[in-house]
Structure 1
């Protein structure tokens, strides 16, 4: 399938991931990349982590088997791999050789936020790390920023050594408040947070002070920066279900202005479609990698997509 946008022309790569179908079928919780354009794919199967080159050749597969439910992944210049485990209420830091270095959070124990059954609408107050965390990013000084999450309404900043430095956010709709902070991304002094149920992306400085708010989204879930300096935002739209609701990638410039959208109607059951866009990353050539989650995937359906940039 071919998509002509103001940001470029993209083409779906059929069966991009060159692994046995059972390893890549079903939901893909997150996607990330390192400085060598290796693509890290976080599944909810065994093995949980698959590493590919841009052509889809599998370079590594591994699984620490500590995850309750993998949700997000972040790779730091080949020095560390962070896995967000929402149901485990923890973030894991691994070395490139797969050695577990540290665990952030009280593994298996959610913080007190008043939340009932992972329903963000029942949160009565923000709490410490973590209650179903969702995403992680890092700045040039090595500080970590974790979005938290399904059962909290908070962003937590950790030192490079893993010490909690400060947090910000409360449940609500005002600037600096959240209803399900989901994806998170850092670039040049700004932290971008996909405030999913508020249908917006909020911008903060490294101290957590609001710097702006971009609307015109429908349930934004993941975000990243492309080599064109545009922000690519995955939106799972109205529902996380395979039932005809559209999903899309929205491309925003550095001023928050809409460049274009890559959208698809889920009524087309083609395997070339993407249905519930969750995680997103963009390689150095501008090609887009999308991970999908959701309910009711057809048998054998893979939630991993590559849209190759043609121009």
Structure 2
């Protein structure tokens, strides 16, 4: 598989506005304590090289950034995907893997690469195609591990534990974290950590309970772990519209490796440190936290104390993020259209975590008269060979077929 480069700890604190808030260590401790306390080691990412002509050296980023003049309104920019960028994908496999027992795929929005062996983790919402999924009523395994070359199912688990799986993250030890962004009376609105074999190691949040106080979630979208084991959860899925439902939230919550509440920051809005659906999380080699602020058509970047460092606007209306060990950044857009992001295409934009610049683009597949914008997933990941994986969401899947699309890297590149 090659040598994995461990993520470097965050070693700087540039001047920025502080958006985080802390509670005293003993305040709300009982509510914030997880179901089980399991320590975690450092997180790394599997690595691979992009096409030689597309690999971005971080050392070149400052010069490239200086060549770009920021507009007065950072959202008033053309879609870089319209500029004829190279496409690294040579083949589109829209129905890459099958589920067991001739089971039909439902919707999915999450995919990740296992850093211990390079294989692919994803989930299926138990056959449900609509936004609500089908896991609340159907006792089948929603979480799957697939062989990255053959698509063979290597593991499955999670039956009866979820309402709507949403975000998925595999840590450095191969443990699988999944958020549940909806709830019923007795389950949902949680973040669950599994061993690679499917044993529940930790559960954050209280099953079926919605709230914004420590220890509770309101539609958790995604989860990621830092090199020191700290846990970050993006919370609030319903806030991306101009008039979000009452009670909606948009925040990032930080926990210790044992699951103890530390701090949080954010609210619904469009300023720095504010969100309209923080839909996905990633972390680069410097330990910076990248947040896909989907409703605001941007990526926001923070240090691990909640200080806002930067915002990127070139990557469109982002549903999913992936950053590899070389800091190549993949951002997938599943929603852009004339109604909510006019002039921009769905698809996968590729760049480097060090700068707001897109250097490659994988366009949507299955473009037709009935679907002029084609199909693009909500979740994205890339393996060490440069193949890209997209998790098809509830809108595209109904017509595109196949829960996971595999974009195979072009031969000879």
1:257-268 matched pairs, under 5 angstroms: 257-264=357-364, 267-268=367-368
Query: Does residue 304 of structure 2 align to residue 206 of structure 1?
Result: yes
Q: 2:206 maps to which residue?
A: 106
Report the Cα offset of residue 79 of structure 1: 4.2
Report the Cα offset of residue 52 of structure 1: 0.8
Q: Which has the larger share of strand?
A: 1
Alignment equivalent of 1:179, drawn from 276, 279, 284: 276
Q: Distance in 1 between matches of 2:251 and 2:177?
A: 19
With normalisation by structure 2, the TM-score equals: 0.64
Indicate how the Cα distance of structure 1 residues 68 and 258 shifts in structure 2: closer, same or farther if over 3 A, else same: same
Alignment equivalent of 1:222, drawn from 307, 315, 320: 320
Contact 2:386 2:409 in 1 (8 A): yes
Q: Distance in 2 between matches of 1:85 and 1:134?
A: 8
Contact 2:89 2:387 in 1 (8 A): no
Q: 2:163 maps to which residue?
A: 68
170-179 vs 213-222, which moves further:
213-222
Indicate how the Cα distance of structure 1 residues 236 and 21 shifts in structure 2: closer, same or farther if over 3 A, else same: farther
Q: Which has the larger share of helix?
A: 2
Q: Distance in 2 between matches of 1:73 and 1:27?
A: 14
Q: Distance in 2 between matches of 1:285 and 1:227?
A: 13
4+ residue stretches of structure 1 with deviation over 6 A? Answer: none
Alignment equivalent of 1:156, drawn from 242, 245, 253: 253
Q: 1:47 maps to which residue?
A: 141
Indicate how the Cα distance of structure 1 residues 127 and 220 shifts in structure 2: closer, same or farther if over 3 A, else same: farther
Query: Does residue 173 of structure 2 align to residue 78 of structure 1?
Result: yes
Report the Cα offset of residue 21 of structure 1: 8.2
Q: 1:292 maps to which residue?
A: 392
Q: 2:119 maps to which residue?
A: 38
Q: What is the CA RMSD across the aligned residues, in angstroms?
A: 2.8
Indicate how the Cα distance of structure 1 residues 297 and 12 shifts in structure 2: closer, same or farther if over 3 A, else same: closer
Higher Cα Rg, which structure: 2
Indicate how the Cα distance of structure 1 residues 269 and 20 shifts in structure 2: closer, same or farther if over 3 A, else same: farther
Query: Any idea what the Cα deviations from partners look like across 1:135-165, whole Å, max 9, x if unmatched?
Result: 0111110111111121321000110000111
Contact 1:246 1:266 in 2 (8 A): no
Contact 1:83 1:91 in 2 (8 A): yes
Q: Distance in 2 between matches of 1:146 and 1:89?
A: 12
